[in-house]
Each structure stands twice: as structure tokens, then as C-alpha cells.
Amino acid sequence: MSSRENDDFSKFLDELSESLHRDRSLSFRLSTSEVTEEEIEGETISCVFEYLLLRDCPSCLTAALARKTADGVLSSDISGFYDMEQSESGAPLLSARKLARAIFRHLRASCDAVREDLPGLSVVDGLAFSIHTIKNTRLSMEDRHVTLTPFNALFGLPDVPSQSFFAIYDGHGGVEAARYAATHLHVNIVRNPHFRDDVGLALREAFQQTDDSYCARSRREGHRSGTTAIVAMVCMSALHIAWCGDSQLILVRDNSRPVSVINPHRPDRTDERRRIESAGGDVKWFGTWRVDGLLSVSRAIGDRCYKPYVTAEPDVISMELTPSDSYMVMACDGLWDVVKPSEIPRLVSKEMRATGDRSAVASKLVDHARALGSADNISAIVVFFDEFRGGDGVAAATTPSVFARRLGSHGPRSRPNSLSLPEGAPPHAGDSRRTRNFSSVSPLSCKHQ
């Protein structure tokens, strides 16, 4: 870390600490009233990320503060957090309100701890990427996303090769399932006992764990929503992809050749229809093929009312990236329903020739989908594989400071690392990518197309 970066970080931490101590009445609010013990880490990390992203905290510093805060909460005495009445009726549950207060307290303490560790803090940028999301003409925004390039720092993995994590969750019937997956799936992956030796198995089991846990919460709280999920993990030159539902991912090779690498889960797939019908379900035509005439995806996290026909079991593939792999594009069906994979290289190249700014590439793809008539929520992430191409990819502007990189080269439309911002956040709160005119989520558990 340079002396300038050390000074910038120290100043930021001083200001953050002062703000947290000044606003002692301020606390965080979680999106639920009770949490289980296994959900503490995910809820804590998500809460800290949301708070710091609204304050334009650099990604490496956000990861360090989230890790310290989560460790503090997990090692503290939480015996007073249990809801005894709820605990007697099933699995032990903790008060989300008490947990939120503890998160706030430990974040204040983490500022001093991270300041002491600044000399050893890694500020190396991970993979460059561009992200853009819009609510579009829908009444509510039910997509959520996660982008984590300081993955190792966030989960305290100094002895594991550098990893980056990207995910898009396309919710339906409400935002609850997508929000839950965006909070907990990456935690369940890294905490899976097979994570270090078999990432594919860890992905499979983490999807199922997330589905089981969310369905348990949805039964307690009366939710019926579901979400598709597509996850990409880059570990050195290895790319691991897991998905359930109809979001898709393509690789673009030599900046010109699109390669579809996944097969989306839809009820009209022969194997999916056979699986659904053998489980006792039905596939009917209602504008498109739907499970029981209602749900237009055949696999999803949540959708407890459609079990066992709609499963969260993902398909998983792993591959080695090569120098010919230029970038990958992952997006929900709001983009792929109207944009063909064959169009992607031309659109990206056109944007780069016009502006030279790859941080706006995802925005260009989303705008194109909207112009073609997509009315759905749209989320798109473009990840560039420069380090596997010997640095000959499309270059981004460089700046001397981490804070400058945070606010400059990525641009206002490309958040360096994030979990989805909380509902109700103001449109100008560090993120101009998404329309913030949220309304109440639909009670229907049907994904309309």
C-alpha cells in the first residue's frame, strides 16, 4: 500500500468512526424479524456492505470491515438474542433487531481494528467488470446481484488462490427469495466443507442449503416467492458456473466469437418436462410453457408451493480459461429474451470503439434490450479476463489512488464490488444504475413473461 492510499484509508476510517460514534441512536434494520444461527454471517456481511456502499467505501476496505465485524459478532455472546417463544416451536431463532444492534456496535469497533491492520491490507484490484441493472417497466425490482472481487479478503482465505464471485438472482412473486440468496448463497458456498477440494460439489450443496433455509423462512413469514440463480466463480484460470432457472452466461472468445456454455432450465425442455411430470407436476401452455400453467421456470430457489416439481438443484460446469477468452456476459432473461448471444460481440465492440469505456458496456447491453422491447427487470454483468490474455484486453483508465479508481475509472454505472443495495435507497446513493421507484412486491408466485 502506498503512503497516499494509507492516508486516504486512515482519513476514511476516522470519518466513518466519528460518524458511527456520533450517531449512536442509528442502527441497522434487517429484512426479517428472526434469523437462525447459520444466517448470522450472511446477514452481518450484507448489512455492512449495504451501509458502506452508500458511503463509497473502497471494495478492499469494505471487505476488511465486513470481515472484522462478522468475526466480532460471531465470537460474541448471543445468548440474549434468542426468541424463546419461537425457539420452543422449532429451530432456535434470534431476534433480528438485537442482531442489527450488535452489528452496528461491532462495525464501530472494527474501524479501529482495521486501521491498525492498514499496512498489511491488500489493495490489488481483482477482475475488471461492468454491471448495469434496471427495474424497467415492471412495478417492482425483483432482481438482486452480488459482485465480489475481494472474495478471499472477505472470507479470510489468505492461503487460497485469488477468487472472484459474481451472481445474478432474478426473483419472481416477490423479492424475498432473491434477496435471501444474494445474502446467503456465497456464504454457504465458502463455508461448505468441500469448498477447498471440490468447488462443484460445494456449489451444488450450497444451492440446496440456501433453498432449504429460505423455504423454512418463507413458511414462517408467509412468503411464496422464488428466484432463479446464476453464479460464476473465477479461481485463477478456473471458471466454475452453477445455475438454476433461465438466466444465462456466454463466453466471448477473441472479442468476436460468442460461446453459449449453459442450457437454461425451462419447462419446455424435454428432460425438464419429463422430470416435472414424473414428480407429479404438469406442464401447460399459458402464453408460454409453465409448471402447472403458472411458473415459467422449472428450477429455482424458493417457490415452496411448487415443490418437488421446481427444484433448486443446479447444473454445474467447470472449465479452464485460456488466452482466447476475452470476457463473459451473464444476465437474466430480461436481456436474453430479446438479445441473441451472437449480437453481444458486435454491441461490445461498438461501445468500445465509440467511447473506449468498458465500464459502460453492461449499460449498453441493457439499453439495447430495452430498445428491443424488453419490459422485464434487466440485470447484466460483463467480466473481463485481461489477466488470462497477457494484458491485451480492452484497457480501462488507470488512476493513482484507490479512491480515484472507486469513483473514476469504473464510472457511476459500474460498482466495483457490491451486494444489491437495499430497497428504498435513494436513486443518487452512490448508484445511478437502477431506477429506485419501488412499489410493493407482487403476492403472486408466478413469473410472468
For 96-114, how does the pLDDT look when each residue is reduced to its tens digit (9 = 90+)? 999 999 999 999 999 999 9
Average pLDDT over residues 397-412: 34
Average pLDDT over residues 390-415: 38
- According to the model, what pLDDT value does residue 24 have? 62
Average pLDDT over residues 367-372: 97
Q: Is the pLDDT assigned to residue 434 strictly greater than 80?
A: no
Average pLDDT across the chain, whole number: 85
Q: Is the pLDDT assigned to residue 422 strictly greater than 80?
A: no
Mean pLDDT check: name the lowest of 62-66, 89-93, 340-344: 89-93
Q: Is the pLDDT assigned to residue 421 strictly greater than 70?
A: no
Mean pLDDT check: name the lowest of 303-317, 357-371, 403-417: 403-417
Nearest-angstrom CA–CA distance, 279 and 302? 17
Model confidence at 340, in pLDDT bands (50, 70, 90)? very high
Among 368, 416, 443, 447, CA closest to 134: 368
Average pLDDT over residues 366-392: 87
413-423 burial, b at 16+ Cβ within 10 Å, e below that, comes to: bbbbbbbbbbe
Tell me phi and psi for residue 215, to 5 degrees. -60, -35
Residues 6+ apart with CB under 8 A from 6: 118, 119
- According to the model, what pLDDT value does residue 420 have? 63
Q: Is the pLDDT assigned to residue 342 strictly greater than 90?
A: yes
- According to the model, what pLDDT value does residue 446 have? 33
Tell me phi and psi for residue 358, to 5 degrees. -75, -15
**Residue 419, helix vs strand vs coil:** strand
Grid cell 451501509 — which residue? 51
- According to the model, what pLDDT value does residue 109 have? 93
- According to the model, what pLDDT value does residue 351 have? 93
- According to the model, what pLDDT value does residue 352 have? 92
**219 versus 24: which is more confidently predicted?**
219
Model confidence at 386, in pLDDT bands (50, 70, 90)? confident
Q: Is the pLDDT assigned to residue 409 strictly greater than 60?
A: no
Q: Is the pLDDT assigned to residue 82 strictly greater than 70?
A: yes
**15 versus 446: which is more confidently predicted?**
15
Average pLDDT over residues 3-21: 88
DSSP H or E stretch at residue 203: helix 199-221
Q: Is the pLDDT assigned to residue 121 strictly greater than 50?
A: yes
Model confidence at 441, in pLDDT bands (50, 70, 90)? very low
- According to the model, what pLDDT value does residue 433 have? 33
- According to the model, what pLDDT value does residue 6 have? 85
Q: What is the 3-state secondary structure (H, E, C) of 37-95?
A: HHHHHHHHHHHHHHHHHCCCCCHHHHHHHHHHHHHHHHCCCCHHHECHHHHHCCCCCEE
Q: Where are the alpha helices (DSSP H) in 236-343?
A: 270-278, 333-336
Model confidence at 93, in pLDDT bands (50, 70, 90)? very high
Grid cell 473465477 — which residue? 234
Model confidence at 270, in pLDDT bands (50, 70, 90)? very high
Residue boundaries of the structural domains of the chain: 3-120, 129-419
**94 versus 446: which is more confidently predicted?**
94
CATH 3.40.605.10 corresponds to the domain 129-419: no
Task: Provide the percentage of residues in the chain whose pLDDT is more than 90.
Answer: 71
β-sheet bridge partners, residue 205: none
